[in-house]
Amino acid sequence: MKKIVFFFLCLIIFTKILSAQKYIAPNGDDANPGTIAQPFATFSKAIAEAMSGDTIYVRGGTYNLTTTITISSAKSGTEDQPMVLSAFN
């Protein structure tokens, strides 16, 4: 029983380690790596780079959208590991 609990605990921790944070900001650049210090400029780039379980933080400001933002079911993640878009606080 202890081995099963340990296994699931390791699985949860491993999953959290693999999750990443991406950042976008109006003054960002899509050539950047999407970090807090070097954010992307567009939603499209952040969504393209994100994986299941990742969180995309949207920095404050005005974003001029020229195209519709679409997140396909293939990019949206899973029930246990959704891709999340969140305001940056």
DSSP secondary-structure letter at 32?
S
pLDDT by residue (tens digit) across 2-28?
777 666 555 555 545 456 999 999 999
Q: Which helix (H) or strand (E) holds 4?
A: helix 2-18
User: What's the pLDDT at 6?
Assistant: 66
pLDDT by residue (tens digit) across 36-76?
999 999 999 999 999 888 999 999 999 988 889 888 888 88
- Does domain 20-87 correspond to CATH entry 3.30.1910? yes
Conformation bin of residue 34: beta by default, left when phi > 0, alpha when psi is -120 to 50: left
Q: Where are the domains of the chain?
A: 20-87
Q: What percent of the chain has pLDDT over 90?
A: 53
